[in-house]
Amino acid sequence: MTRAMYQVLIVEDDPDIRKVLRVLLETDAYRVVEAENGARGEIEVRSHKPDLAVVDLGLPDGDGLKLIQKIRSWSPVPILVVSARTLEEQKIAALDAGADDYVTKPFSAPELLARVRAALRRSARSPDHLPSLKFSGTTVDLTRREATHTDGTSIHLTPLEYRVLDCLARHAGLIVTQTQLIREVWGPERLGDTRSLRVCMKNLRAKLEADPKRPEHLVTEAGLGYRLRTEE
C-alpha cells in the first residue's frame, strides 16, 4: 500500500501547528483530514475512518484523554499523541487511555514521520503473522520460535522471553507500557511485578543485543516502558 492510500486525521486546536503537521504529512504523500477540537475529531473519526489519528491533549472543549478513550471504546485506529505535556505521568495516562505512541512538542519532522510509519505498520500487520526480528547479528523467528546467530548457531530463549518479544513485535516502533507488558505476559494478577519484567529484559538484551549495556533494539523509555526498534 502506498502512503497516498493512507488517511491521517489531525486533532489540534492551534492552526499553526495543524498547518505544520498537514504540510509534513502531505509532503510525505499522506492524505490529511483536520479537526480543531475533540467533538469535531470524534465526528471525523466516525465519518472518515482514518488510518491514523494524531491527537493533541490540550483541546479547547476538553482533555484529549477523553477523546482517546471515546475513540478506543469502539475503534482500533492507531492514535499518536503530539503534545506539549512532558511529565511522565501525563505520558503514561495517554498510553493507558489507549494511545499507541507519544511525541513531545516541539518535535522533529523525521521523528514524527517515523512514528507515523511505525503506527501504520502495526495496524497493517496481520495478528496471525508474527514477523522475524533482526537484531545485530541475530534473527528471531517469532512464528517458529527460533533464534539464531548469523553463523547458524541457535540461541535459547525461554517461553516467557518469546512472549515478551511477541508483545513488543505487535507494537514494533511504538511504546509498550510496563503495565501492558506485564498484563499480557505475566497476567493481570502480577501487575505490580516490574522487577520480573526488568530481569527478563536484561536477559533478552544479553542474548540479542551486540552491546547489552547500550541496547539498539530493546530500548527503555524512561518511566514509561519499552520500545522495539527494528532494522527496517
Mean residue pLDDT across the chain: 89
Convert the pLDDT of each residue in 21-74 to its tens digit.
999 999 999 999 999 999 999 999 988 889 899 999 999 998 999 999 999 888
Query: Which 8-state DSSP code applies to residue 131?
Result: P
CA distance 97 to 74: 13
**Position 125 pLDDT exceeds 80:** no
CB atoms within 10 A of CB 62: 13
**Position 127 pLDDT exceeds 60:** no
Query: CB under 8 Å to 21, separation ≥6 — which residues?
Result: 10, 12, 32, 54, 82, 112
Q: What is the pLDDT of residue 192?
A: 84
pTM above 0.85, yes or no: no
**Position 220 pLDDT exceeds 80:** yes
**Position 232 pLDDT exceeds 70:** no
Residues 70 and 61 sit within 8 Å (Cβ to Cβ): no
Q: Which three cell numbers stand for residue 119?
A: 503506527
> Of the candidates 20, 6, 15, which has an alpha carbon nearest to the alpha carbon of residue 49?
6
CA distance 75 to 46: 9
Three-state DSSP at 231 gives coil
Q: For 105-123, b where at least 16 C-beta lie within 10 A, e where not — what string?
A: eebeeeebbebbbbbbbbe
Convert the pLDDT of each residue in 172-200 to its tens digit.
889 999 998 998 888 777 888 899 999 99
| Domains of the chain in sequence order | 3-124 (3.40.50.2300), 132-228 (1.10.10.10)
Element (H, E) at 116: helix 109-124
Q: What is the pLDDT of residue 208?
A: 93
Given pLDDT bands bounded at 50, 70 and 90, which one contains residue 124?
low
Provide the angle, in degrees to the nearest 10, between the axes of the packed helices 88-97 and 64-72. Answer: 30
Q: What is the pLDDT of residue 3?
A: 63
Given pLDDT bands bounded at 50, 70 and 90, which one contains residue 144?
confident
> Of the candidates 78, 107, 82, which has an alpha carbon nearest to the alpha carbon of residue 174?
78
Given pLDDT bands bounded at 50, 70 and 90, which one contains residue 231?
low
